[in-house]
Amino acid sequence: LTILIICERKSSKDVLKEVATNALLSLLAVSKNAQKSALEVDLINSCIENMKDIHAQLNLDSLKAGKAQKKKLICLFSLFVCFLEMAALKTHLVPVLHSLWPWFLMDDSSMQIALHLLCVYTTNYPAGCTSLCWASGGQSPSLPPARNAAGNSLMHNILKLASHVSNDNSPIQQVVFCLLSNLALSHDCKGIIQKSNFLQNFLFLSLPKGSNKNPGNVSTPWLKLLLNISFGEDGQQMIMKINGFLDQIVEMCKYKHKSSQHLALLILHNVCFNTTNKPKILANDKAVAVLSGCLESDSCGVRRIGAASLWALLHNYQKAKVTLKNPSIRRIIDEAYSLAKKSKSYFQLIPVLCFFVNQIMNTFQFI
Q: Say how far residue 127 (Cα) sits from the centre of its chain.
A: 16
Mean pLDDT for 61-72 is: 59
Local confidence band at 186 (pLDDT 50, 70, 90 cut-offs): very high
Give the tens place of pLDDT for each residue, 295-322.
Answer: 888 887 888 899 889 889 988 888 887 7
pLDDT at 39 exceeding the cut of 80: no
The pLDDT value recorded for residue 297 is 86
Predicted confidence (pLDDT) at residue 249 exceeds the cutoff of 80: yes
pTM: 0.80
Q: Which pLDDT score, from 0 to 100, does residue 228 have?
A: 97
Instruction: Give the sign of the dihedral formed by CA 309, CA 311, CA 312, CA 314.
Output: positive
- Bigger pLDDT: 12 or 154? 154
Confidence of residue 6 (pLDDT cuts 50, 70, 90): low
pLDDT at 67 over 70: no
DSSP string spanning 182-227?
Answer: HHTTSHHHHHHHHHHTGGGGGGG-----SS-----TTHHHHHHHHH
Structure confidence at residue 18 (pLDDT): 63
Summarize the confidence of residues 234-246 as an average pLDDT.
96
Q: What does the pLDDT read at residue 164?
A: 93
Amino acid, res. 224: K
Q: Mean pLDDT in the chain?
A: 78
Question: Hey, how many other C-beta atoms are within 10 angstroms of the C-beta on 282?
Answer: 20
Reported as a pLDDT band with limits 50, 70 and 90, residue 144 is very low
pLDDT of amino acid 29: 60
CA distance 313 to 310: 5
Checking if the pLDDT of 145 tops 60, the result is no
Q: Hey, where are the domains in the chain?
A: 197-271, 278-367
Smallest CA-to-CA distance from 273 within 304, 242, 303, 317 is with 317
What pLDDT is stored for residue 256 in this prediction?
77
Contacts of range 352-360, beta carbons closer than 8 Å, 24 or more positions apart:
352/304, 352/307, 352/308, 353/300, 353/303, 353/304, 353/307, 356/304, 356/307, 356/308, 356/310, 356/311, 357/295, 357/307, 357/333, 359/311, 359/314, 360/307, 360/310, 360/311, 360/314, 360/324, 360/333
Highest mean pLDDT among 72-76, 180-184, 302-306: 180-184
> Considering only 171-175, 268-272, 326-330, which range has the smallest mean pLDDT?
326-330
- The Cα 62–Cα 69 span in angstroms is 13
- Packing angle of the helix pair 43-60, 32-40 (nearest 10 deg): 70
Is 90 exceeded by the pLDDT of residue 166? no
Helix, strand, coil abundance in the chain, percent, nearest 5 = 70, 0, 25
Separation between Cα atoms, residue 130 and residue 188, nearest integer Å: 6
